[in-house]
Amino acid sequence: MKVARRRFDTLVIGAGGGGLRAALQLSQAEANVAVVSKVFPTRSHTVAAQGGINAALGNVLPDSWHWHMYDTVKGSDYLGDQDAIEYMCRAAAHLVYELEHAGVPFSRLEDGRIYQRPFGGQSQNFGGEQAARTCAAADRTGHAILHTLYQQNIRAKTHFFDEYFAVDLIKDDEGFVLGALVLEIETGEPLLIEAKTTLIATGGAGQLFRTNTNAHINTGDGMAMVLRAGLPLQDMEFFQFHPTGIAGKGMLITEGARGEGGYLINKDGERFMERYAPKARDLASRDVVSRAIAIEVREGRGCGPDGDHVLLKLDHLGEETVHKRLPGICEMARIFLGIDPAEQPIPVYPTAHYTMGGIPTDRFGRVVVPVDSGEEAIPGLYAAGECACVSVHGANRLGGNSLLDIVVFGRAAANDIIKFLRENRYHRPLAQDGVDAALAHLARWDRKTGSESVAALRAELQAVMEEYCGVFRTAEVLEQGLDKVLELKARLDDAVLTDHSRVFNTARIEALELENLMDLAVATVTSALARQESRGAHSRVDFPERDDQRWLKHTLFYREGRRLDYKPVRMKPLTVEPFPPRERVY
């Protein structure tokens, strides 16, 4: 079948902070770059990040990149790769200054330097006093960064394909990735984008769960494309539940609220985090705080008529601080709860938030797969941001490290792409088989027979994932969950669209998204069932301890046969001494 074609040096799929940071670097290097995004770039979910971006600037309290590295390794429950973490923490300050120079309206200290606030899991001096490492633009840091990066891309004349949905990667027989088949949403027409390199920066998959902090678009499309291309996903069992989503609704209330001095109370008014994390209290790591809230509720100390949440108290901070430092939160509380947090506490509960796992990459953003002697890069394929697993977050991401991750590895990937382009000057011949397969995938939704509805299956999938793959897990529950997810996936084969029109057919897009979510649900539950230990966000009631002997390793999941494989954690940093696994207390 014939399909329209465009050719670029390099293709970026996804226009959140990771994709845009990479695109900016590439455009500035005068590469011919195409950015494909299924929504207009400033709609990307980076826009919703609130609290800030970590960098050891030391503007408020003493700090060093090495302490940041220690906190990140510890926060990851030692599953993070220490070479990548060192790279990220060392690069952080430079990249934050770069963002500031590009126009990000950071909040300021009296002397005009960037405002920094304390966040969870941060310490001075390798586990000492609380640090203040999170650079903030009020509580709208993601919005400020995303808009600035988009604006600078306008300046750099990056080529945007707004509202184009990426369907599948195109690979040739030698394993080179040659671009992607995309769908122009407005016309419903497929388009083949040929490129010497493809960077996937499509974000996370929070839509796997019913109650989540994520946007509707967070369906893990890039990760699922990688699975369909026969490549593995790494550490998918590690999904972060943010301690403070608005109870029952899911909207995020930034950790910055606790960074500014807010704290959690149960129905007795007790500041319960003191029992779970005597030193860091409300600023312990997110996995620790989320479990604590879930336990409080389970043991009958929850608030409200149903005892199903706890309260985040901010009213003691004074109206000035609350309204000045957390204006977005105030707006959200007013709209969705009808309250002013400066006067009344916010009902909160742990809510699905962040995909720690993803496409396995090295610290250059190259997608890597295991070979006999180690790892090998897939030529022409890159990933960065939440869809990637470098892994800098390991089993639990620290707040403020996701915005950092996207700019650090967006840029790193772009730098390696520039090198790759120098060494690979010409487009490789197109693999028509790959194009045909992608078109066939798309054509599946033209079928006019079937009995299942996409919306209903999506709702069922989210409910199953929430119930069977949540904060606390056991083999029994996960096994049931896996059966249910596989059954849903089988039913997806029988799904049919009632709308077969071409122009801006969002039903078709949602069907493609559901296929992606389905594969990711299988990857998540399968990986979770296999990992018989508790580490970071993966909390197995039947295996309550961390087991470094057996499980200090990364999971790899392959779609074909739901095969699992494992690879070692890179414990060796670039220049400093490793941080060996230790008991993790806050």
Partner 1 sequence: MRFRIYRYNPETDTAPRMQDYEVEGLEPTMMLRDALLRIKAQDETLSFRHSCGEGVCGSDGMNINGRNGLACITPLGELKEPVVVRPLPGLPVVRDLVVDMSRFWHHYRSVRPYLIVHDPVPEVEFRQLPAHRDRLDGLYECILCACCTTSCPSFWWNPERFRGPAALLQAYRFLADSRDQETESRLDELDGPYRLFRCHTIMNCAAVCPKGLNPTKAIHAIKKLMVEHAI
* Residues assigned a catalytic role: 286
Q: Which helix (H) or strand (E) holds 359?
A: strand 359-360
Least distance from partner 1 to the Cβ atom of residue 110, Å:
6
Least distance from partner 1 to the Cβ atom of residue 240, Å:
18
Measured from the CB atom, the residue of 138 and 178 that comes closer to partner 1 is 138
Quote the strand ranges of 172-284, DSSP E: 177-184, 189-200, 233-234, 239-246, 263-265
Residue 439 phi/psi, 5-degree rounding, is -65, -35
Q: Does 132 bind partner 1 (CB under 8 A)?
A: no
Q: Does 299 bind partner 1 (CB under 8 A)?
A: no
CA dist 523 and 471 (Å) reads 17
Least distance from partner 1 to the Cβ atom of residue 19, Å:
16
Measured from the CB atom, the residue of 29 and 337 that comes closer to partner 1 is 337
Q: Does 106 bind partner 1 (CB under 8 A)?
A: yes
Alpha-carbon torsion angle 369, 166, 520, 400, nearest 10: 80
Q: Does 133 bind partner 1 (CB under 8 A)?
A: no
The footprint of partner 1 on residues 134-173 (CB under 8 A) is: 137, 140, 143-144, 147-148, 151-152, 154-155
Contact 45, 217 (CB under 8 A): yes
Q: Does 199 bind partner 1 (CB under 8 A)?
A: no
Q: Which stretch binds partner 1 (CB under 8 A): 64-72, 347-355, 357-365, 447-455?
A: 447-455
The single residue among 3, 437, 486, 507 that binds partner 1, judged by CB under 8 A, is: 507
Q: Does 444 bind partner 1 (CB under 8 A)?
A: no
Least distance from partner 1 to the Cβ atom of residue 197, Å:
26
Q: Does 114 bind partner 1 (CB under 8 A)?
A: yes
Q: Does 109 bind partner 1 (CB under 8 A)?
A: yes
Q: Which helix (H) or strand (E) holds 134?
A: strand 134-135
Measured from the CB atom, the residue of 274 and 499 that comes closer to partner 1 is 499
Residue 78 phi/psi, 5-degree rounding, is 70, 15
Q: Which stretch binds partner 1 (CB under 8 A): 106-114, 291-299, 312-320, 441-449?
A: 106-114
Query: Which residues does residue 164 pair with via DSSP β-bridges, in sequence order?
Result: 184
Q: Does 484 bind partner 1 (CB under 8 A)?
A: no
The footprint of partner 1 on residues 227-256 (CB under 8 A) is: 251-252
Q: Does 100 bind partner 1 (CB under 8 A)?
A: yes
Measured from the CB atom, the residue of 201 and 233 that comes closer to partner 1 is 201
Measured from the CB atom, the residue of 333 and 369 that comes closer to partner 1 is 333
Total residues contacting partner 1 (rule CB under 8 A)? 61
Contact 492, 518 (CB under 8 A): yes
Strands 189-200 and 233-234: unpaired
Q: Does 107 bind partner 1 (CB under 8 A)?
A: yes
C-alpha Rg value of the chain to the nearest Å: 23
Least distance from partner 1 to the Cβ atom of residue 384, Å:
21
Q: Which helix (H) or strand (E) holds 403?
A: helix 401-423
Cis status, amide bond into 402, omega within 30 of 0: no
> Left, alpha or beta for 400 (phi > 0: left; psi -120 to 50: alpha)?
left
CA dist 204 and 225 (Å) reads 13
Name 371's Cβ contacts closer than 8 Å, sequence gap at least 6: none
> Left, alpha or beta for 450 (phi > 0: left; psi -120 to 50: alpha)?
left
Least distance from partner 1 to the Cβ atom of residue 216, Å:
5
The footprint of partner 1 on residues 22-41 (CB under 8 A) is: 39-40
Q: Does 497 bind partner 1 (CB under 8 A)?
A: yes
* Ordered DSSP codes for 523-543: HHHHHHHH--S-BTTBEETTS
Using alpha carbons, select from 142, 197, 116 the residue that is nearest to residue 418: 197
Using alpha carbons, select from 400, 524, 516 the residue that is nearest to residue 38: 516
Q: Which stretch binds partner 1 (CB under 8 A): 256-264, 413-421, 506-514, 575-583?
A: 506-514
Q: Which stretch binds partner 1 (CB under 8 A): 105-113, 168-176, 439-447, 574-582?
A: 105-113
CA dist 61 and 400 (Å) reads 16
Cis status, amide bond into 391, omega within 30 of 0: yes
The footprint of partner 1 on residues 51-80 (CB under 8 A) is: 57
Q: Which residues bind partner 1 (CB under 8 A)?
A: 39-40, 42-45, 47-48, 57, 96-97, 100-103, 105-114, 137, 140, 143-144, 147-148, 151-152, 154-155, 186, 215-217, 251-252, 328, 331-332, 335-336, 453-456, 497-499, 501-507, 510
